[in-house]
Amino acid sequence: MQINIKMTQYQITPQVREYLDKRLAAIEKFLDESDGVAICDVELEHAHAQQHGRVYRAEINLNVHGEFFRVEDWGESMNAAIDAVHDEILRRLRKGKTRHQNIVRRGGAMLKRMMRGE
């Protein structure tokens, strides 16, 4: 998986970088290598206009074999924002994988009925 990281008004620390790499590795495990090259664009931002509250933003744009997934969320810390987008992107990937499996199963069942002559 090719990873591009962009930071807006934010300087990444080694701890946050390690945490982000760990979360992206979990996403990479979920992808099939047969899908080809996956491109993951990550943007991390700190909103300087706000002083407290949900001021950190994380965004992931994932392009996998022609499918595009975009997730954005705000958090009170950068780790919280990364967790939120990680969970949402995995949810969307699972949903797409389940949908693909269902289509394949229905197609196989239809072929089986046709071969039986039903």
Per residue in 49-80, pLDDT (tens digit) is 766 778 899 999 999 877 889 999 999 999 99
pLDDT at 41: 94
**Residue 35 pLDDT class (50, 70, 90 cuts):** low
pLDDT at 61: 95
Alpha helices in 11-77 (DSSP H): 14-30
> Which pTM was predicted?
0.76
Tell the residue number behind the tokens 């290598």, with chain if given: 33
Answer yes or no: is pLDDT of 34 > 70.
no
Average pLDDT, integer, range 11-31: 90
- Enumerate domains of the chain plus CATH numbers: 2-116 (3.30.160.100)
Three-state SS string across 32-49, please?
CHHHCCEEEEEEEEECCC
Cα–Cα distance for residue pair 36/65, rounded to 1 Å: 6
Residue 85, phi then psi, degrees to nearest 5 = -70, -35
Of the candidates 37, 33, 101, the one whose C-alpha atom is nearest the C-alpha of residue 65 is: 37
More confident residue, 29 or 84: 84
Of the candidates 92, 44, 43, 106, the one whose C-alpha atom is nearest the C-alpha of residue 64 is: 92
End-to-end alpha carbon distance in the chain: 45
Burial readout 81-92 (b: 16 or more C-beta within 10 A, e: otherwise): bbbbbbebbeee
Per residue in 81-115, pLDDT (tens digit) is 999 999 999 998 888 767 777 788 888 888 888 88
